[in-house]
Amino acid sequence: MDCIFCKIIAGDIPSKKAYEDEFCYAFHDINPQTPVHILVVPKAHIASADGINAENSVYAAKIFEAIPKIAAEVGLNGGYRIISNCGEDACQTVKHLHFHIMGGRRLPENMG
């Protein structure tokens, strides 16, 4: 499958790793929008949050178990924002479920 995040998980495309376990892989965004900008992705190809179902929701659960560990690992002591763009109206560009973990400065209140 021609999926950039599957290739990153496989190591075929290099990335700067922040965290990894059996269910997920986290790495620094190539085009950071905040001082700390991590992407965490499931190690199974799920196209977006809209593709989470009873069969694969363990990946979502495990990602949310991992997020506090990832945040601590990258020093997000003051808090952080979790974003998942889902579909066209949200401007999702990579069609492999991912959660942006963003922080390292005070973020704006407005979410768009």
Q: Which phi and psi angles does 87 have, rounded to 5°?
A: 90, 180
Rounded Cα distance between 37 and 30, Å, is 9
Q: Could you list the active site residues? A: 98
10 binds ligand 5GP (CB under 6 A): no
72 binds ligand 5GP (CB under 6 A): no
Both structure tokens of 13 = 């495309």
Picking from 34, 35, 62, 33, the residue whose alpha carbon sits closest to that of residue 46 is: 62
Closer residue to ligand 5GP (CB): 10 or 54: 10
110 binds ligand 5GP (CB under 6 A): no
Q: What residue ranges bind ligand 5GP (CB under 6 A)?
A: 4, 13, 15, 27-31, 39, 85, 91-94
